[in-house]
Amino acid sequence: MENTIKKALKGDPRAIARLISLVESESTFAHEIMKAIYPHTGKAHLVGVTGAPGVGKSTLVDKIISRYKELGKSVGIIAVDPSSPFSGGAILGDRLRMQQHALDPSVFIRSMGTRGSLGGLSRAAYEAALILDACGKDIVIIETAGVGQTEIDIVRIADTVILLLVPGMGDDVQIMKAGIMEIADIFVVNKADREGADKIVAEVNLMLDIAGERSWRPPVLKAIAESGQGVDDIIRAVEEHRLYLQKSEEGKKRRSSRIRHEVEEILRRDIARIVEKEWEERSSNDLIEALASRRSDPYTEAGRLLEDILGAAENSREVEGA
């Protein structure tokens, strides 16, 4: 394991892939890996790219990768599809297309889908991003398949969040409602040669004006991902936002809130494991029978279990304090 970590930290793609797999599958090595990795993190810039299906996220990410490569930057991509069974196919095709970069050692691409809990996915995506960060990627892009609540939770971990819109989808107003407005740092109206592009740009600008003054005013850019038009503007905006975060109070706040969130998530996962184990041991047929016949209720039983695990801690602390 130590050897794999060493190799990965030097940028070896195979070793990196292995670390991500081990962490994603919650292997017994996961903890060791993340502890070893963590001191090397904090250098990469994490960019989240989100937007409704069909707005051209993958095409744009593709072009962004190419441009970063020309600029001599190494890039890692995590493509996440937490969504309903109905959107499983498309993203796979996109991934295949992105494999044009696969032979380039400076680009690392990784897809992730739902396995089990949704919270687990945003956690896995974040840990993969940390690994890519530690292993020397300058830019880590996290791309989601849609813009549901789960996707918002996932891109929230990024430093800079790009929201893609397109003219004529009729859902622009709904996006505004969904609380994604607050987390987007850069708006991009893609397929800007289509009718209605200027209208969306104006609408978003209006919404941002109404939202009131903020220390970072998200730019609203136009792009045509297919031809690469507008990509330079996007990269420039990302860089500006990065510098802004470095210098501003807002950037500092965002970093500490991310760290807080990290610890909380790890705690939640670890405690959940302990409780699950404890519950498995205790949930006898008798207990289930008592609940089924309504002689007890789940609220009382859950309370009892928790008290046994944590209440004792409370008591002993009181004793210590006495």
| Residues in region 213-272 near a second copy by CB under 8 A | 255-256, 259-260, 262-264, 266-268, 270-272
Identity of the residue, 17 or 178, whose beta carbon is nearer to a second copy in the bound complex = 178
Window 119 to 138, contacts with a second copy (CB under 8 A): 119
Window 76 to 95, contacts with a second copy (CB under 8 A): 82-86, 88-89
Least distance to a second copy from the beta carbon of 225, Å?
A: 21
Identity of the residue, 1 or 178, whose beta carbon is nearer to a second copy in the bound complex = 178
175 binding a second copy? (CB under 8 A): yes
Instruction: State the DSSP H helix or E strand holding residue 14, giving kind and residue range, or none if neither.
Output: helix 13-24
- Measured distance CA(16)–CA(223) in Å, rounded: 33
Q: Which stretch binds a second copy (CB under 8 A): 16-24, 30-38, 160-168, 204-212?
A: 30-38
- Measured distance CA(74)–CA(79) in Å, rounded: 17
- Measured distance CA(312)–CA(314) in Å, rounded: 5
| Three-state DSSP class for residue 294 | coil
CA distances from 192 to 35, 62, 187 (A): 45, 17, 12
- Measured distance CA(159)–CA(251) in Å, rounded: 9
Structure tokens at 312: 């004792």
Per-residue x/- mask for a second copy, residues 40 to 69, rule CB under 8 A? -xx---------x-----------------
- Where b means 16+ CB within 10 Å and e means fewer, 38-47 reads eebeeebbbb
Identity of the residue, 168 or 179, whose beta carbon is nearer to a second copy in the bound complex = 179
Q: Which stretch binds a second copy (CB under 8 A): 70-78, 93-101, 218-226, 293-301?
A: 293-301
71 binding a second copy? (CB under 8 A): no
- Measured distance CA(241)–CA(140) in Å, rounded: 15
Q: Which stretch binds a second copy (CB under 8 A): 56-64, 70-78, 170-178, 215-223?
A: 170-178
Least distance to a second copy from the beta carbon of 303, Å?
A: 8
Structure tokens at 245: 């975060």
Identity of the residue, 178 or 207, whose beta carbon is nearer to a second copy in the bound complex = 178
